[in-house]
Amino acid sequence: MKHLGILISGRGSNMLAIASAIREGRLSAADIALVISNVADAPGLERARELGLATAVFDHRGYKREEHDRRMAAALHERSADVICLAGYMRLLSPWFIRQFEGRILNIHPSLLPAFTGLDAQLQALEYGVKHTGCTVHFVDEQLDHGPIIGQTVVSVAPDDTLQSLSERILEAEHSLYISCLQLVVSGNYTIEGRRVVELDTSRKGSVLPGW
């Protein structure tokens, strides 16, 4: 069983999608240990409380980045969180925090990385005129929107798309992508070769190894 620590700053729809998937048995061998927000009045925090999830607020203001991250890490360790999901967490993590949870921090980004990193990825895609964009779940490393990619979903841009209509379709895709990527990570059924996250072939489990 893996214990998820989910970091949010706002709406929290990805956090809710994860919570629903666990409740409905679409994501197994995982529970939510703690939902942390750096914004006290984040709407997602209230939703998490309504679901009876453990929540904590760590306002970053007045703290150095690493100091803030150390406070969050202490709370996450206290709850035995072993996989960290960034779900609309609008702050960069310190290298210290990333090392604490090395290879166990996931982020979701609303574009097909490496295109359109940073803020307003949906607007960047629309303004660039791409015909296809989407979303990416990746492991977090010390560079912004950069670590090894776990999964991506393509969302086509319609000629009459507005920022709102495109963002809504991407968000819908995000909700299922995050679950399938988390399922893989929680299962531990993958290896990382360079930048490539490679899913292991479970159908070969128990097969006769060469030389046996």
Q: Please give the positions annotated as active site.
A: 109
Neighbour-count burial of 186, counting CB atoms closer than 10 A to its CB (0-12 exposed, 13-18 middle, 19+ buried)? middle
Convert 97-108 to b/e letters by CB count within 10 Å (16 or more is b): bbebbeebbbbb
State the residue number with the nearest CB to ligand GRF: 88
Residue span 109-138 as binding mask against ligand GRF, x where in contact by CB under 6 A, dash where not = xx----------------------------
Interacting stretch for ligand GRF, rule CB under 6 A, among 5-13, 47-55, 149-157, 193-201? Answer: 5-13
64 versus 164: smaller Cβ distance to ligand GRF: 164
CB of residue 131 vs ligand GRF: minimum separation in angstroms? Answer: 20
**In terms of Cα–Cα distance, which of 141, 184, 29, 14 is closest to 85?**
14
Query: Are 155 and 133 within 8 A, CB to CB?
Result: yes
Euclidean distance between CA atoms 109 and 192, whole angstroms: 20
Q: In a 3-state reduction of DSSP, which class is residue 18?
A: helix
CB of residue 4 vs ligand GRF: minimum separation in angstroms? Answer: 14
Can you tell me which of 18, 33, 34, 44 binds ligand GRF, judged by CB under 6 A?
44
123 versus 186: smaller Cβ distance to ligand GRF: 123
Q: Does 174 bind ligand GRF (CB under 6 A)?
A: yes
| Token digits of residue 148 | 């090894």
Can you tell me which of 19, 33, 45, 108 binds ligand GRF, judged by CB under 6 A?
108
Euclidean distance between CA atoms 180 and 27, whole angstroms: 8
CB of residue 200 vs ligand GRF: minimum separation in angstroms? Answer: 27
CB of residue 132 vs ligand GRF: minimum separation in angstroms? Answer: 17
Interacting stretch for ligand GRF, rule CB under 6 A, among 11-19, 58-66, 76-84, 199-207? Answer: 11-19
**In terms of Cα–Cα distance, which of 167, 137, 135 is closest to 150?**
137
| Token digits of residue 87 | 């779900």
Residues that bind ligand GRF (CB under 6 A): 8, 10-14, 44, 87-88, 108-110, 171, 174
